[in-house]
Amino acid sequence: MRITKPLLGALLLAATATPAFAQDETEAPDAFTITGSATVVSDYRFRGFSQTNEEATIQGGFTVGHESGLYVGTWGSGVGFANGSEIDVFAGFATEVTSGVTFDVGATLYLYPGTADSSIIEPYVAVSGTVGPASLKVGLAWAPEGQDSLGDAGGVYVYSDAAVGIPSTPVKLKAHLGYAKSDSFLGGLDGEVLDYSIGAEVSWKALTLGVSYVNTDETTALGWKDSIGADGAVLFTLGAAF
């Protein structure tokens, strides 16, 4: 996530937030499971905002979960600012509240090694479930005031994700819609940002190839949208799960 002022709004969007991890699971001793992934992306977009100056980068991470529902993990990516790297550490609790419906609550700490006063902590809550071949998720993340990296501003991010697998194929269709509101004008010219994406992915064994179109509702006046990396773009990803 960019910590320079033009993209501060992207920081306030944080959450979903937690970057998505592989579905494949490896059994570990003592009721623990480990999941992880390594991915090459054509552009790291965080809630519609480019974090790599619209260039490719490598991402990866892992999560350790316990059968009680507690989990902890980390995720990292190259970025085009600070010292060129972002490391996220997250922890939470997820439980099935009723058949097919999961409640998830936790927090993410965003770190930028070697950069002073740049860390961000953000609690989140989400509910996910399945309806036939479709999986749905809605969530909210909150960036509290008083964090130096956010200029003492706060913000909230509300989002929804949907995915539908095409029967008898390895293809899955995906969509995302998010809305961020900040008490600082740096959350966008009007303090509000809408981001969205639509795409598809195909899986083969441990590999997943994805393509999506990502955009925001930021204004194009005076080249603002392009200058902050919030313009529409087609993104490609290739990931390996373990």
Question: What CA–CA distance (Å, rounded) separates 32 from 63?
Answer: 10
The whole-number pLDDT of residue 143 equals 92
Name the pLDDT band for 194 (thresholds 50, 70, 90). very high
The whole-number pLDDT of residue 14 equals 39
* Mean pLDDT over the full length of the chain: 88
Question: What CA–CA distance (Å, rounded) separates 106 from 125?
Answer: 7
- Quote the percentage of the chain above a pLDDT of 70: 85
Question: What CA–CA distance (Å, rounded) separates 170 from 173?
Answer: 10
Please, which residues bridge with residue 106 across strands? Answer: 92, 124
Q: What CATH number has the domain spanning 32-230?
A: 2.40.160.40
What average pLDDT score do residues 33-55 get? 97
Structure-token pair, residue 110: 């965003």
Instruction: Select from 45, 51, 23, 43 the least CA-distant residue to 35.
Output: 23
pLDDT per residue over 147-158, tens digit each? 888 877 888 999
Residue 76 predicted with pLDDT over 70: yes
pLDDT per residue over 50-65, tens digit each? 999 999 999 999 999 9
pLDDT per residue over 154-181, tens digit each? 889 999 999 999 999 999 999 999 999 9
The whole-number pLDDT of residue 100 equals 92
Question: What CA–CA distance (Å, rounded) separates 193 from 219?
Answer: 10
The whole-number pLDDT of residue 152 equals 74
Residue 21 predicted with pLDDT over 70: no
pLDDT per residue over 95-136, tens digit each? 999 999 999 999 999 999 999 888 999 999 999 999 989 999
The whole-number pLDDT of residue 18 equals 42
- Quote the percentage of the chain above a pLDDT of 90: 74
Residue 3 predicted with pLDDT over 60: no
Higher-confidence residue of 193 and 9: namely 193
Question: What CA–CA distance (Å, rounded) separates 39 from 17?
Answer: 17
User: In whole angstroms, what separates CA 90 from the centre of its chain?
Assistant: 12
pTM: predicted TM-score of the whole model, two decimal places: 0.86
Question: What CA–CA distance (Å, rounded) separates 187 from 182?
Answer: 5
Residue 90 predicted with pLDDT over 80: yes
Residue 188 predicted with pLDDT over 80: no
How many of the other CB atoms lie within 10 Å of CB of 183?
14
The whole-number pLDDT of residue 149 equals 84
Helix, strand, or coil (residue 226): helix
The burial class, CB within 10 Å (0-12 / 13-18 / 19+), for 129 is: middle
What average pLDDT score do residues 20-33 get? 60
